[in-house]
Every structure is written in C-alpha cells, then in structure tokens.
Structure 1
Amino acid sequence: MSPSLPRGVSKPLAVWLVMASCQALAVPPPVYRQEVVVAGSSFQGVHGLAVDGKGHLLASNLLGQSVHSVDLRTGAVTTLVGPPLGGADDLTLGPDGSLYWTGFFTGRLMRRTPDGKTRVIATGLPGLNSLAFRRDGRLYVTQVGRGDALWEVDPRGHNPPRQILAGLGFLNGFEFGTDDRLYGPLLRKGQIVRVDVDTGAMETVAEGFAMPTAANFDARREHLYVVDAVRGELVRVRLATGAKEVVAKLPTGLDNLAVGPDDQVYVSNMVDNDIRVVNPTDGSIEPVVTSRLSVPSGLAVAPEDADERLYVADVYAFRRVGGRDGKITQSTRVLSTPMTFPMQVSLSAKHVVLSSAYLGNVQVLDRASGDILRTIPNTNGVQGALELPDGTLLVAEATPGRLVRVDAAEPAGTTVLTEGLEGPVGLVADTEAEEPGVYVTEVRSGRVTRVRLSDGARRTVTKGLRAPEGIARHPDGGLIVAEVGRKRLVRIEPTTGRLTVLATGLRIGLPESEGLPPGYLPTGVAVGRSGTLYLSSDVESALYRFVPVP
C-alpha cells in the first residue's frame, strides 16, 4: 500500500444496509448510505521503531495491539503480530533474529522467534516501555509511567527479571554504546544519561530538553540522535562534549526513532500517527507512512450546527473535523499542551468535556476558545462524561461500575449516583424529560439502561446486546448505539426497547486487552441535525457517516 493511499480509500463509498429487527415494524426501516469522512490507517498511534537490515522498518502499535513491518521501498504495511498479543510500546531484534516487544498495559515482555513462535518471557512489569540488547546479548527493559525502573531480563525467560535501578525519572527509548554503557533520555528531567548497568552508576551526557523520548546512535557511534516530543525536534548530540544541534524541526508528539545503516533517521509521531525519514546531512524530511487521524474514539456534534462539524476525541489529540468534507480544522495535541489523551467527548452549551482512562482524568474546556478550564483526576477507568444543566459533571466509572456526580465548584467533591452497572461506557443525556435522566451503555452486561438523575433509580431499556459502547440521541428521540460485539449500528426506541439494525459488518471493536478497563478504546457515535449518523472505527482509525436515503 502506498503511503499516499491509506487503507480505507478503496472501500466502496455506498453500502446499502438491510434492517433486521426483533419485532415487526409497521413502517419500512430506515435506509442509509455509508460514506467515508476520513479514510483510515494501518496504525492506532505508531510508537517504537527498528530497522531489520532487510529493507523493512518494524513498528509497534500499542493501542492497536499489533506489530507491523513497513517496506521502505514501497511504504506497504503488513502485520507481523496481531491483536491482542501485539500490544507493543517498543520493540527490538535479538542476536538470533527474534523479535522482542514490551506490553505497556499488560506488563508483559514478549518474544517471537524466527520460526514464528510467540511466548511471554516476563510478567508483572506494569508500564513496561523500552528495551535494548547489550553487545554480549544481555537484555534490559524499563518501566515508565506505571513504574519507574530499569531491569535486566533473561532473553529466553528462564530466570526472573532483576532490578538494576529505580526512581530514575522515566528512562525511555535507549541504546547501548560501544563502551557497553546504556544511553537514553530521562523524560522527567530533560536529560540524556549514560548508565553503567553493572554498577548502577549514572552520569549526564546532555540536558536542556523539554521532553526527550528516545535516543539512538548514528552509524559511527559518535553522536546520539534524540527526539524531543514537546518541541518537535530531532537533535544530534556529540558524545565527547554533550553539544547539541537541531537537525530537523517536526510536529510535536515525537515518540521514537531508528537509525538506518545509511544514517537516515526514521521518526515516529504518535499524535499524527505517522513515520517520517530525516536526512541528517541537510535536514530534509520525507513521509514513510501517513495518516490523518490517530485513534478516533468518542464523537460529538452540536445539535444546532447545520455544518455538522465533529468534535473527535482522537486519544493523542482533540480534533475538529468537518462531518461533510472531512477537513480537519483544529487539533489540540497531547504532550505539548496540558491535554491528556482524550477518549470520550461531550458538549454542553459553553463547554467541551473530555475523559480519558489512559491517564485517568476528566477535563473541561471552553467551547469557544478551547482553553482547558478544569482537570479532575479519576483513576476508576473513566469513560463517558457529561455536564448537567446545573454545571455538575456526570461520569461513568467503568471499573467499579458506577455513575458519579462531580461538583461544579472546586474542590471537586464526588457523589455516587448509582452503582452495580456492568462496565458503563457511553452516556447520553435525557434532561428535558419530566423525570430527567441519562442513558448508559453497559459493555459487560449488554444492556442500555436509563438512570434517573433525582435518585439514581435504574430502568433497563434493552438487553441482549453484545458489547454496546457509543450512544447518541437521534433528533426524533431514538437511541443510536454502536454494538461493537456484533460489529453493527443499531437503533433503540427508548420507551419500548424495540431494536432496529441499521448497519452490519462494520470495522469496529479491537479486542480488549489485559490490564485495561471495560470498553477501553470506545467506539464513538454522533448524530447530526440532518439525521446523518457518524461512527468512529478503532480498527481502521477512520470516520464514517451514514446518510439517510429519502
């Protein structure tokens, strides 16, 4: 596949969808025409890179739970390890040609031998992030975020991991030099350090970075190339003096890099979900794999907006996308701003509410300016979040199965509205009813439930669904739900629970992975004032619309 023709462009743009209902209807079912809003990608935020010496670049795909190979001649992307085993934050090749990768969420270190056998060689290391071999074949890994330590791991998995250092300041993408010392960045300290893994001695090589995320040697091993995620810079560091030189300026969100034998530097950007190659002699930049979105999840559209512009929680960015033309008009990027990995989005008259189980918080933004007004920590697998008319927030906590109210004023006190839900994910308000309430999808139980706001009383609207996630209100009052387990889009009548299937065979629903809350990467649904339905695809990193046919 050419990098200029992402996956999804060749899909038929018109798909006639057939209704299947659990009850006979008096009127013909609605018919929709499926269209692409934003075409997809092979990745869901690309991370670690490694050059295999055979004309391919290996790339890790954490949220997509895959390991890929990119043909550097054609840009074609193939999958080496698919979900759920391939949830890799970083990867490397061992001396025998085995592929090793780190599971950030699972805390597992994986190995795939040249004959294709895959096995777990280490467990119990949450936040497992970067890894590299020393020249003598010893393997080292780090924990970042969910831990902060450097470990030595048996490459064959016969012996338990041995901790070398702890509390370093998040040692990320590193490499060993010809002196058998480890060279890598400390994210929290803005430094590049050299570590003697035998003694634990550590010294600073260079400093003054905003957020260095990875460092690799050039072909002569005289310089280190460093990517700075916040400044979007590729920096060359001279080992002998620590002197720094900016080689190329790129978009912010850089995650990792790999240096080829010809000294070409391949750089991954998780925000833009792409890979570029930099020629360090002149700083020129060329695309290798391109994308328009990273990981589109939650969706919202203002009911009064005739242009039906979409608010997209794109995990590594918050974006505005034209529902009719697919044009991306605004992006707020993580790392370089205080925004924290948005996965769900909702709108009120003045605010945008974002929530994220990635770093565990809810954020309230000014809808006009985009300024972040509040950040409220929540580590209970937070999913959907709404602002109610009185200014309080209603938040779905997927892990304990609760809906909680969060006070409008600071400090933000929390009150449980209802509990006993089984994986609440999607929320949509019904606050104009005589008894105001909210509809919630329960991914574990397969129910859509209405919760009364006055006292938390619950009523089952429908059951028997398989992994319902995104939910939205149609202008006529119907509920539109992404039934991820059956890969279809359904309509539910809120008073009777009657179900109508609107679309089937959808490319949605990456498998759940160990260490993640229910419905972790939600499939988003939104409905425009025209009745057009919008859907995010986590499998394809794409956006689709379903236009009603007269």
Structure 2
Amino acid sequence: MRDKPTDLTNTVHKGRADSGLNLFKGFTLMLVMTLTVMGFDSVVDEQTGANFNGETSTFDSAIDKKDQNSKVLVKEIYTGAHIKGANGINFGPDGNLYIASVADQEIIVMNKQNGKILKRLGPTNGVISPDDLAFGPDGSLYWTDLYTGEVGRMTPEGVVTKQFVAPGVNPITFNEEGRLFVALAFLGDGLYELDPNLIDTPRQIIASTPANPLLGFLNGFDFGPDGKLYGPSFAGGFLMRVDVGEPGDPTSTDPFGDGTAEFVADGFTVPAAVKFDSEGVLHVLDQTGEVFKLNTVAGEKTLFIKIQEGLDNLAFDSKGTLYISNADFGSVVEILPSGQPRTISGGGMIAPMGMAVLPGSNNRDALFVANLFRLYQLNGLTGREEYVYKGDLLGGEDNLTTPFTLSADGENLIVSSYFGQVVQVWNPQSEQIIDTYQMGVPIDAIRFKNDIVVSDLGLGGVVRASDKAMILPIDNTNVFAPSGLATDGETLWVADWGTGIIWQIEFDGDTPKPAVPIVFGLNNPEGLAWDKEGGLLVVEPGESRLSRIDLENGDVSIIADGLNLSGPAVGLDAALPPTYLFDGVTIGQSGDIYVSGGGKNVIYRISKK
C-alpha cells in the first residue's frame, strides 16, 4: 500500500491484507470448531528436563537392555532464546519490565538492567496466552489472552479476575481518564471499551466481520496528547487514529466513513505497535526492524533506528529510555542515547519443532528446524546457524508459511503449518514454493507413494494432500489425535498423541489396508523417524524422552530421557491442537539423531558412543 487510500475499507483488503483476511477466516474457523481430538483429557505435565548446560551427557541405551555397556552421547548443539517470543511489553509500578509471551504462556517480570528474570506469571495465575499488557491507575496488571479471547486483571494484592471479549483480543491500553480499551487481531477484528473492573458488558466501538475486517488487525496502540487512540493496521500497512467516543455511543460499522477512524500515514510494511514518548512524539514500530518517529499532523515519518527484524512492541521507562521486544527471535533490547541497541535478553530460536536433514557441504548434515515464525538451517556438527528464513504470518501464497513440522523430500522440504493451514513443498536453495496444499489443521506431512500424506485434525485423520482421501480416520474410539508420521517408502506409521498408540498401515498398491496397532501406552507421542535399522524413533513429550520401537517385535526401549521438551499447552484444549509446539526428531546421514528440545529452546544431537 503506497498511495494514500481514498477508501480504507476497500484498501485494507488489498495486497498484504488479503493474506490477513485468509488467515482471519481460516484460523478463526479452526479456533471455534470442536476438534475431534477433544475426546480425551489432555496431559498437563510440567517438564523438568535435564540440565546439560551445553555439555555432553551419557545415558544408558536400552536398545539392548541386556547390554549395559551400550551408551549414547547426548549433546546440546544449539541454545536459543530465554523467551519463546517477546510480545507486548510495559513497565510496572515496581520499575521492572513486564513481557507478555503468547507461545510461552506467561508474563515474564524482568530486571531491565541485566535481563534477570524475577518472576513468571503463567497458567496457575490465570495467564494463558498473553499478547499484550498494561497497568491500570491502581497498579493492577491487565493482559489479553489471544487464543481464549479473555482479558485478565491481577490486582496489587494478587487477586485475578477475567472477562471474555472475543477470540483474538490483542492490544490493550488505558487513556488519561482511566478508561480501558482493547482490540482484536489475527483471530478477529474490531475495537472495544471495557469496564476496568471487568464486570460490565464490553462496549463495541467498531464492529467487524470475518468477511470484512475493517481495521486490518489494529495492533499495539496508544493514546495521543489529543485524546485520540493511535494504532497500526498490521495487515493494511498504515497508521490510523480513532475517536473512541463516550460510553453509550453507537457501534460504528463504517469507521472511516463516519469519522470514528481516520487515516494518519501509510508506507509501512508490517507496522506492529506505536507508543508516544514523554514529549508527545509518536514512535511507530515495523516488523522490518525499523522504528519511525511520526508527525501526527502532517503524517510525515522519519526513520529513528533500524535493528533486527521481527519486532513486536515497545515501551518507555520513567526516564524516557526506549525498550523493544522481538516476537520472532525472543529478544529484548534497550536503545541507548547513541541510537545503538543494548541487549537485555538475547534472541535465537523461540520454539524449535519439526526437523529434517538434507545433504550439506563436506558431508555434513544440513539440519533444518521449524521455528514458528522462522525456519533455521544449522550445521549438524556444530549447531552453527547457517541461514534463517522468514515465514509469513499473514499467509502470502508465494511465501514460506509459519513452519511447524518438516520432512525431507529430495532437495526440497515439506513444510506443514496448522496456523497457516497449509502444507508446502519448498526449496531452500531457491527459496521458492514448489507446491501448496490447502489443509484443515495439519500436524505433520511426509512424502509417500508419489503423494504427500498429512495428519490433519481438521480434515478428520490422516489424508492424502492431493485429493484429501482418507487413510486413517479419527473415530474417537481407537484413533483420537494423529500426530507424527514416518515411512520406509512402503509402510506408513502414525503416532496417536491421544491414545499413545503407534499405528502401522500397509498398502495394496495405493489402497490402504486396515491399520494395525504395534505399540500401546506411549505418552503423547509426536515426532517419528524410521532409522533404517528396523526401528522407529519416537519423541514422547509426556515422558521427556526419546524412545525406539523394534519393528520386529514391538519392544520399546529408551534412547535418551530427561530431555527438556515442549509438552502440551495448558488451558487451550479447545483453541489449539494438543501437539501445540511439536517436538520433532530426524536422523542424519551419519546416523546421528537430532531432537528439538522446545522446553529449553535447544537442539540435541544424540550419537552412539
């Protein structure tokens, strides 16, 4: 969006906003539908994990339980960010920095000087999927739970109350009069005023529908000296201001036509948040890494600083110092008077999930890791980052999606994303999409018999990507939640997260034979990999371990335990798939095994001693 729009209601649907509209329609459908996997109780188990601290550790291998001399080496070859994506930030009355993290399911209280984490407020405190936060006049902490659609309040005494608004509730702020406002983004679109006590029914200021997202996902916003609300259209690429009116005013269904909202400036790529400093100067943050100062009268912007891509939100402390959060890399930085960033909390991978190996240079494994907003390529020996590819949160058709799982496909990768609702065949050399398959809620995908097989909770089981033909249906009796997939080219294996069963499916040509359970009782199995030695590797997040199934007799042995894995989401059973942040496994050319340790944001390499 380059020129000043004459019809913002139509403009917000164009270009990048089209992608946002698709995401809005699809993911809202996924959020509100009753997933077939809800026929079982989710396991809520806090992973303790092993404290390797980057050092090599030795575990007894149970591949042959009689051979006590058999051992493997487990090493962390990569360590990522301390935070699983830093979203909304704000300073509390105590002077500490409060950081919302949707993926981490917590609000982190951090010392702004040294980055020390002082406190974590999570599901036990009622914090489920916090995207933004603010402090009320009485010092109460307020936050928005994106997936559940609730706004939470924690008083200075620690009393928590919550109110449902709508799925996608995202930015939150107070005006000078102590009135509370929130908006919807990604899973909805619209603007509301709330009772600060979270009792009275929310007042809808601007109405919106999935077919007509009027604001293009109004994101991190702030009130200006003129008393109006300023915020960015995340999908539209422009900045707006809104007259929030008075309680009792009618809901606007044509905000840019009736004067409720007006255009301020455009020319942004993905504007994510705005804040006024103590001098009344508006700062606009773009996910490109750019931060602009904006003249709100003339609409002219000036580049203030440019730092790492993936920015999410910003806040000024009591001295006027600017702090910025990064959603893609999980970092938090302070901007020094010189304009240089000082790292408060370092970045890196925020949610390592599915993995795949392609041949690398000098016979080294090129290890690819799905990481929510980015796809990483690592040196399999050293863990060194070689390339980091950007996923498109808004779902552009020609762009790499937000990657959750990966599998090798010749020189390509098969990428699946339940957030993007697609499976893609993607070439890392050319960074081109080869094929795209629109799916429901895809969990994993692999090449099988000249097609791609997908475990898809939205489509009701394991299906072929080409025609959605069913291979293993969810019946809520024997099959509840298909997750990881593996094959030797002739046989297909499917992990069921809900029952702990591993299913084996033989084929008569292209026709699947009845599925046969070969293993029972695994704890939330996710990533699968065929090891070419008559075994099947399986990640068990419910037990914090990697196991091996002997395909000859079905015996299960432990390869490595005490792994710090992601585990299921807490309190999000009806909103997200039970696999949540998928824990993956893959095997290198040398036979080394790689496991994603999402609980600690690490990559493990497991090799024979």
Both proteins in one fold, TM over 0.5: yes
8 A Cα contact 2:220 2:273, kept in partner: yes
Does the alignment pair 1:404 with 2:463? yes
8 A Cα contact 1:485 1:509, kept in partner: no
Deviation at 1:239?
A: 2.2
Instruction: Write the distance in 2 (CA, Å) between the matches of 1:144 and 1:318.
Output: 24
Alignment of 1:318-467 (within 5 A): 318-335=375-392, 338-378=399-439, 380-390=440-450, 392-399=451-458, 401-407=460-466, 413-420=467-474, 421-431=479-489, 436-453=490-507, 454-456=510-512, 457-467=514-524
8 A Cα contact 1:99 1:113, kept in partner: yes
Amino acid across the alignment from 1:160: T
Indicate how the Cα distance of structure 1 residues 17 and 317 shifts in structure 2: closer, same or farther if over 3 A, else same.
Answer: same
Deviation at 1:284?
A: 1.8
Partner secondary structure for residue 469 of structure 1: coil
Partner secondary structure for residue 485 of structure 1: helix
Instruction: Write the distance in 1 (CA, Å) between the matches of 2:554 and 2:165.
Output: 44
Quote the residue 2:140 is aligned against: 98
Deviation at 1:117?
A: 2.8
Residue by residue, what CA displacement relative to the aligned partner does 1:337-359 show, whole Å, maximum 9, x if unpaired? 82221000011113211111122
Quote the residue 1:185 is aligned against: 232
Instruction: Write the distance in 2 (CA, Å) between the matches of 1:106 and 1:125.
Output: 8
Q: Considering Cα pairs closer than 8 Å and 6+ residues apart, tell me whether 1 or 2 has the greater RCO.
A: 2
Quote the residue 1:310 is aligned against: 367
Deviation at 1:160?
A: 2.3
Does the alignment pair 1:37 with 2:77? yes
Amino acid across the alignment from 1:455: T
Instruction: Write the distance in 2 (CA, Å) between the matches of 1:429 and 1:168.
Output: 46
8 A Cα contact 1:61 1:86, kept in partner: no
- 107-116 vs 65-74, which deviates more? 107-116
8 A Cα contact 1:253 1:334, kept in partner: no
Deviation at 1:271?
A: 1.7
Amino acid across the alignment from 1:381: V
TM-score of the superposition, structure 2-length normalised? 0.82
Instruction: Write the distance in 1 (CA, Å) between the matches of 2:432 and 2:411.
Output: 12
Partner secondary structure for residue 43 of structure 1: coil
- 470-479 vs 481-490, which deviates more? 470-479
Equivalent of 1:518 in 559, 578, 583: 578
Give the share of equivalent positions with the same residue, in percent: 30
Does the alignment pair 1:489 with 2:530? no
Quote the residue 2:184 is aligned against: 143
Amino acid across the alignment from 2:404: M
Instruction: Write the distance in 1 (CA, Å) between the matches of 2:318 and 2:409.
Output: 53
Instruction: Write the distance in 1 (CA, Å) between the matches of 2:116 and 2:185.
Output: 31
Instruction: Write the distance in 2 (CA, Å) between the matches of 1:480 and 1:251.
Output: 37
Deviation at 1:124?
A: 5.2
Partner secondary structure for residue 527 of structure 2: strand
Amino acid across the alignment from 1:517: P
Deviation at 1:481?
A: 0.9
- 29-38 vs 334-343, which deviates more? 334-343
Instruction: Write the distance in 1 (CA, Å) between the matches of 2:329 and 2:320.
Output: 23
Indicate how the Cα distance of structure 1 residues 162 and 519 shifts in structure 2: closer, same or farther if over 3 A, else same.
Answer: same
Instruction: Write the distance in 1 (CA, Å) between the matches of 2:567 and 2:153.
Output: 22
Residue by residue, what CA displacement relative to the aligned partner does 1:238-267 show, whole Å, maximum 9, x if unpaired? 223221000111222211111223332211
Instruction: Write the distance in 1 (CA, Å) between the matches of 2:66 and 2:76.
Output: 31
Partner secondary structure for residue 542 of structure 2: helix
Instruction: Write the distance in 2 (CA, Å) between the matches of 1:112 and 1:29.
Output: 54
Deviation at 1:194?
A: 1.0
Alignment of 1:212-291 (within 5 A): 212-221=271-280, 223-229=281-287, 231-279=288-336, 282-291=338-347
Alignment of 1:44-55 (within 5 A): 44-55=84-95
Deviation at 1:30?
A: 4.0
Indicate how the Cα distance of structure 1 residues 119 and 400 shifts in structure 2: closer, same or farther if over 3 A, else same.
Answer: farther
Instruction: Write the distance in 2 (CA, Å) between the matches of 1:267 and 1:304.
Output: 36
Deviation at 1:303?
A: 7.2
TM-score of the superposition, structure 1-length normalised? 0.90
- 11-20 vs 156-165, which deviates more? 11-20
Deviation at 1:308?
A: 2.0
8 A Cα contact 1:475 1:531, kept in partner: no
Quote the residue 1:548 is aligned against: 608
Quote the residue 1:60 is aligned against: 100
Deviation at 1:399?
A: 4.4
Query: How many residue pairs get matched?
Result: 526
Indicate how the Cα distance of structure 1 residues 451 and 325 shifts in structure 2: closer, same or farther if over 3 A, else same.
Answer: same
Does the alignment pair 1:109 with 2:151? yes
Instruction: Write the distance in 1 (CA, Å) between the matches of 2:226 and 2:456.
Output: 49
